[in-house]
Amino acid sequence: MASKKFNNVYIKDNVSIVGPLEKEGLLKNYDLAIDDYYYGERTFEQAEIKMQNVVLDNLLNYNKLSESKIDLLIGGDLVNQISISGYNASKYRIPFLGVYSACASYVEELIIGSTFISGKLAKKVVAITSSHNLNSERQFRYPVEYGAIKKHTSTFTTTGAVATLLTNEVTGIKIESATIGKAIDMGVKDTNNMGAVMAPAAADVLNTHLLEMKRNVNYYDLIVTGDLGLVGKEIFTEMLDKVYDIRIKKYMDAGSEIYTNSQETYAGASGPVALPLVMFDKVLNCKKYKKILFIATGSLQSVQLANQKLGIPGIAHAISLEVL
């Protein structure tokens, strides 16, 4: 069974920071914002480490927790060898697990953290993730100042970081269950069309979740996918309809909820931080939705293997949250 039910796992708090473009976009309820992509540091990588550092420090301070009270820190990001999370973790004396599922890393972190808490192996777990537009540009695409020609299917990596505190004490948000997705390669080789890479994995994990949990799609007040983008979400809904016979109505893609149309971000936002930003900014806050399924999606590519023209595997993990 890919699906797990959790006991006594709650989200206590979340601290977020967003970049300059995100600040001018559709998000409203973030905690901090930066005006400069360098954030007072020498390089963009160091700026991203600082963003993780600041959200984690704030999370600990707001909740009056010392480092020793946290049983586990789980981190992931997009920079080579998840180095941002590793370098940030070195500043704390907290046991650390680094995870990678590209843009699905955050939900993978929540699933691992929830498993620890549900199994009574931990009481407080922090999940942290970040992405920085210019670090992704540098690593996966072209030099920052290079005016590369973008396709309409390209997505735009979100700049930001989030740190989320999971606990076994009852709060307003319960992590109810989750489904671990499978890596699926449907032969898409285009790194500029990650929506098409990830959509089959997202459709598969949703179908698996509904079957294994014996639920109808209407059980959820809202289904939110991570960063399929304008193209990916069309493919996702059509695949659900044609292959799995699921007609999805109450649906939102986080990638379409961060930037305005005039911000020239092509097919929308991407990056591991896109989903949690929208999750805490628009979905959990608004009290309109009680049962929500979040499906984070990731494209498991590397520059080397993409250049070797192999099909790119997509991954998606689903997590069900209840607002109490």
Q: How far is the CB of 253 from other proteins (least distance, A)?
A: 13
Q: CA-CA distance, 84 to 75, in Å (whole number)?
A: 9
Calculate the CA dihedral of residues 312, 159, 55, 174 and round it to 10 degrees: -60
Q: How far is the CB of 190 from other proteins (least distance, A)?
A: 9
Q: How far is the CB of 146 from other proteins (least distance, A)?
A: 4
In the bound state with other proteins, the residue whose beta carbon lies nearer, of 105 and 131, is: 131
In the bound state with other proteins, the residue whose beta carbon lies nearer, of 164 and 237, is: 237
Q: How far is the CB of 232 from other proteins (least distance, A)?
A: 8
- Contact of 169 with 202, CB cutoff 8 Å: no
Cβ neighbours for 155, distance < 8 A, ≥ 6 positions apart: 194, 195, 227, 229, 255, 265, 266, 267, 268, 269, 270
Output phi, psi for 173, to 5 deg. Answer: -125, 120
Q: Which two tokens stand for residue 69?
A: 């009270």
In the bound state with other proteins, the residue whose beta carbon lies nearer, of 128 and 197, is: 197
In the bound state with other proteins, the residue whose beta carbon lies nearer, of 116 and 156, is: 156
Q: Which residues of 54-73 are buried (b: 16+ CB within 10 A; e: fewer)?
A: bbbebbbeebebeeeebbbb
Q: CA-CA distance, 70 to 123, in Å (whole number)?
A: 8
In the bound state with other proteins, the residue whose beta carbon lies nearer, of 144 and 286, is: 144
In the bound state with other proteins, the residue whose beta carbon lies nearer, of 40 and 147, is: 147
CA distances from residue 280 to 102, 163, 205, 274 in whole angstroms, order as listed: 20, 11, 22, 10
Q: How far is the CB of 54 from other proteins (least distance, A)?
A: 21
Q: How far is the CB of 125 from other proteins (least distance, A)?
A: 34
CB atoms within 10 A of CB 80: 12
Q: How far is the CB of 148 from other proteins (least distance, A)?
A: 7
Residues interacting with other proteins, by CB under 8 A?
42-43, 138, 142-153, 186-188, 193, 196, 200, 231, 234-235, 238-239, 242-243, 311
Q: How far is the CB of 147 from other proteins (least distance, A)?
A: 3
Q: Which two tokens stand for residue 19?
A: 């970049």
In the bound state with other proteins, the residue whose beta carbon lies nearer, of 171 and 260, is: 260
Q: CA-CA distance, 216 to 167, in Å (whole number)?
A: 29
In the bound state with other proteins, the residue whose beta carbon lies nearer, of 146 and 287, is: 146
Q: CA-CA distance, 314 to 204, in Å (whole number)?
A: 11
